[in-house]
A and B are shown apart, each in its own frame.
Chain A
Amino acid sequence: MSAATSRPTVEARNLSVRFRARGEAAWPWSKAGEVKAVENVSIAVPRGEMFGVAGESGCGKSTLARALLNLVAPSAGEVRIDGRAVAGMPALELRSSIQMVFQDPYNSLNPRRRVGDIVAESLVVHGRFDDRERAHRTLTMLEKVGLGAQHLERFPHEFSGGQRQRIAIARALILEPQFLVLDEPTSALDVSVQAMVLELIRQLRRDLDLGCIFISHDLNLLGFLTDRLAVMYLGRIVEMGPTKEIFAAPAHPYTVELIAATPSPYEEGREPRQPIEGEIPSNVNPPPGCPFHTRCRKRIGPICDSRLPELRWHEGRAVRCHLYDGPPAESGGAP
């Protein structure tokens, strides 16, 4: 689309995902509430970039990840990869250009299949190569993530969390995708293991020239890892821009509080310093106006409860807050 991105890019354009609040399937026609998981989100991530998505649990970041892979269908807007709409793309073609690593390494590997089969499954599904070549590539891929031939015949329960996440990464990357979505890939791991897995991800991103979308609630981790960052609240992006600048001078009151609430990496294991006040509102009935106004310390007046602020340019980034009145930034491209 825009001139700034000549490289292959994965983009979301005005993406919204809403679910029916699910109950029993007893009455197909009965009305249920609607969960607005993702509302009007636009991002663009070129190959080679490490893009972070931050937010508390329930802010829609995992749903955004799934929508990028067409694992959930968008209610409005679209996802494009390299300019082509994902919705119409043949499934296998889409799957070989973008892949995903899931949060929970203890449940993301089928407990009844051998590690070699789990990793090779991607190639089998895509009908790529013959058995010998598949075996060869599986082994090469396992070695790339720090495992070896001795692991091929084992079952997932024989591995530690960190090793399992390596297997999950191998399964995703054996298809040689251009883009990789990582949904809290280290949040279930011990701190010491986290660092090694993160280092592996960094190194693979460099070697394979991947475009990564890294989703996490851990701002420290995103600050250290990502080039650009989007902060989400109740399904919407409230601030987006270069990670360094956001950390240096957060603009949106929510970003400010989020960073303040994050323990510094040097005081490991301590409680967050200043937890954000108030409950996260329900995304079935989000508050009117600015979604954050119920918890915001910098409310400026009735406008906050009545009108949804637009995303506007402010000091090299996009911010959704009535405090700022720069030009509209709805395009969502890189600033």
Chain B
Amino acid sequence: MSAATLPPAGSVLGALKLLAERPSAMFGLAVIASLVVVALLAPWIAPYAADDFTEGVLEPPSWAHLFGIDQIGRDLFSRVILGTRISLRIGLLAVGISLAFGVTLGVLAGYFGGWVDAAIMRVMDVVMALPYVLLAVLIATALGPSLENGIIAIGIVRIPRFARVARAATLATVELPYVEAARCIGASHPRIIAKEILPNILGPLIVYGTLSLGDAILAAAVLSFLGLGAQPPTPEWGALLYEAQKYLTTAAYLSLFPGLFVFVTVLSFNLLGDGLRDMLDPKSRR
């Protein structure tokens, strides 16, 4: 019964106010908001296009080229800025996949229980038996290395986790009298799930989804870095790092900036997610 519940509906403003009490969460939110703005305006912010060649090769950071120039003469700042859009999109799409399938499976397992539950959760256990980097590597390999397949791999890997969160929240909700009341007036299973269960398990899902956005972006960078995700010359952050790896001794700045962006993005989603969780579940507050 300790499932986090959202504050009563219709109070997004109230939620923001509660969140404002947590500076670290607000910091995360602010960074994420700026990243979103950067992603939306990327083509206008970046001084060069992703594959524009400028003067010079492997130039360290300067005022003209804030993050330096890479091994074939491209402006790294522009590529990192353009990569923001790619990385955020990866996060959203991958988490979208996990959310869609994970919540469906988890809610069905929690709602119907019995053998449906046993069957679904056994499969989830199998998927969870592998470390998720390993599984993502495996799926991305099987599908063939590309940005899209990387997204699918990362999406699939997190399905069981979302299923668990959704199942736990559903189990806590399905026993509540208003669900029985809905059965009592004759509502069908799909209607009960849509109208009674889903709106009431949103809290934990939002928390977990926020934390997952950071993880998905991180995992995408790992895949690209291993050569299994986005392929150069795509300016995805992990792919930038993959390219920069060969120049560690001569041009470390090429590795520094894309990695910093991954780190700050993931950190911000974690800060926001932690803040949301504390806000929704006062018991975890310390």
Contacts and interface: CB of A to CB of B under 8 A. Distances in A.
Interface stretch (A43-51, A108-116, A280-288, A296-304): A108-116
A189 B180 CA distance: 20
Nearest to B114: A25
Nearest to A99: B184
A108 B176 CA distance: 7
B178 interface: yes
Contacts of A175: 185
Residue picked from A27, A107, A168, most chain B C-beta under 10 Å: A107
A171 B114 contact: no
Size bracket of the A interface: 20 to 34
Given A107-B176, A107-B177, A95 B199 contact: no
A99 B185 contact: yes
Given A25-B117, A28-B115, A111 B184 contact: no
A63 to B, nearest CB: 12
A71 B200 contact: no
A102 B185 CA distance: 12
Interface in B63-118: 113-115, 117-118
Interface stretch (A11-19, A118-126, A194-202): A118-126
B118 A95 contact: no
A104 B181 contact: no
B8 interface: yes
A110 B114 contact: no
B117 A112 contact: no
Contact of A26 (B118, B180, B187): B118
B196 interface: yes
Given A26-B118, A125-B191, A157-B8, A110 B183 contact: no
A161 to B, nearest CB: 13
B195 A121 contact: yes
A107 B10 CA distance: 19
* Chief secondary structure at chain A's binding surface: loop
B118 A112 contact: no
Contacts of B178: 107-111
A25 B113 contact: yes
Interface string B163-186: 000000000000011101111111
Given A95-B184, A110-B195, A125-B185, A155 B177 contact: no
B123 interface: no
A95 B186 contact: yes
A71 B180 contact: yes
Interface of A: 25-28, 66, 69, 71, 91-92, 94-96, 99-100, 102-104, 107-113, 121-122, 125-126, 155, 157, 168, 171-172, 175
B126 interface: no
Contacts of A122: 185-186
Contacts of A92: 186
A9 B195 CA distance: 33
Contacts of B200: 110-112
A103 B177 contact: yes
A17 to B, nearest CB: 15
Given A108-B181, A111-B178, 11 more contacts: A25-B113, A25-B118, A69-B184, A94-B186, A96-B186, A102-B177, A107-B176, A107-B177, A108-B178, A113-B199, A155-B9
B186 A111 contact: no
* Chief secondary structure at chain B's binding surface: helix
Interface residues of B, number: 28
Contacts of A113: 195, 199
Contacts of A112: 6, 8-9, 199-200
Contacts of A25: 113-115, 117-118, 121
A253 to B, nearest CB: 34
Interface in B1-34: 5-6, 8-10
Contacts of B196: 110
Nearest to A109: B178
B126 to A, nearest CB: 14
B174 to A, nearest CB: 12
A121 B118 contact: no
B181 A28 contact: no
A66 B183 CA distance: 11
Nearest to B196: A110
A121 B187 contact: yes
Residue picked from B118, B121, B188, most chain A C-beta under 10 Å: B118
A178 to B, nearest CB: 15
Nearest to B116: A25
Interface in B133-191: 176-178, 180-188, 191
Contacts of B195: 110, 113, 121
A109 B200 CA distance: 12
A267 to B, nearest CB: 32
Nearest to B185: A122
Contacts of A99: 184-185
Contact of A155 (B10, B181, B183, B185): B10
Contacts of B188: 125
Residue picked from B176, B178, B185, most chain A C-beta under 10 Å: B185
7 contacts: A25-B121, A69-B184, A95-B185, A110-B196, A113-B195, A121-B187, A171-B181
Contacts of A121: 182, 185, 187, 195
